[in-house]
Amino acid sequence: MAESAAGKPVLAVDLGGTKIVTALITPHGKLLSREYSPTLAEEGVEPVIRRILTTATTLVKDADLPYSSLSAIAIAVAGAIDSEKGIVTASPNLPGWRDIPLKDEIQLSTGVTTFVINDATAAALGEHRFGAGRGVDNLIYLTVSTGIGGGIIIAGKLYSGSSGSAGELGHMTIDVNGPRCACGNIGCLEVLASGKAVAREAQRLIAQGTKTAILEIAEGDAQFVTAQTVATAANKGDAAALSIINKAATYLGVGMVNLVNIFNPEMIIVGGGMGKMGEMLLKPARKVVAERAFQFPASVVRIVSSELGDNAGVFGAVAFVVDTHGPL
């Protein structure tokens, strides 16, 4: 760990499709404070950046810390990231976010050295350093939320690929004849098993007249149906809701089969909003892995829920700063 960063907190931000998590964390992993705010991504790029800066300023002020006392700002963002330049090159769940120089924007506004990393990659680092993956040398992290992303740890180190964009696990093709994904491809894991996919399937069944408690939980308006609405109905034993989640979990399991056969990981950690469903999601996914993956790697891998939950991204952003960039 970088000696000069040991006592100075990092302001870590996890920018997702639906929420922003902002936290002050020491490089040793001590959470000092944290705030949640809605992303409201549909408002456009600049309002979201202003929201990040406003929340960050409030957090720093409430902690009685000037920006100059921070070792860095680290932002984990949903989408394809050029980490070297700090540019968000594209983000299917953040409309209009194409070639956005987020590092420069934040750095100019705060005067603090800023780093940008993919959110799921950051979460993989967070779980490896501080969460369910502590002591595990080979693991895959899957965030199943508004979209699906991933991060890969090989031999104890983050695998970034030749251009830093490895880990887009939500965009492996699962069904060549499937629906079109927001990324432009067809039949991606994300379009079949994400929170958006679950909500879309529930809305489809409701439109067909399927009898389900989902609509009642959504206060009679199908446009308010979310993955959480479906999970609530499933926990009450609603047959349609259970069927929707089982379908998404099956697709997720198919994706995991690919990961198990290719990477032979010791562990697959599932986080994100859908990950909070726990065994309701993981049990059918494990069944698919046991049935379809090569027997030996399938028998070795442990498929578990995230330990850090919503905080995985911010903790991982801190680990990224310390591990990759050393003294600041």
Handedness of CA 18, 24, 26, 32 (dihedral sign): negative
Q: How confident is the model at residue 284 (pLDDT cuts 50, 70, 90)?
A: very high
pLDDT (tens digit per residue) in 21-39: 999 999 999 999 999 999 9
Q: Dump pLDDT digits (tens) for 115-137.
A: 999 999 999 999 999 999 999 99
Output the pLDDT for position 84. Answer: 87
Enumerate the domain spans of the chain: 3-118+311-325, 132-307
Specify the pTM.
0.89
- What CATH number belongs to 132-307? 3.30.420.40
Section 241-269 average pLDDT? 98
CATH architecture of 3-118+311-325: 2-Layer Sandwich (3.30)
Tens-place pLDDT, residues 302-326: 999 999 999 999 999 999 999 876 6
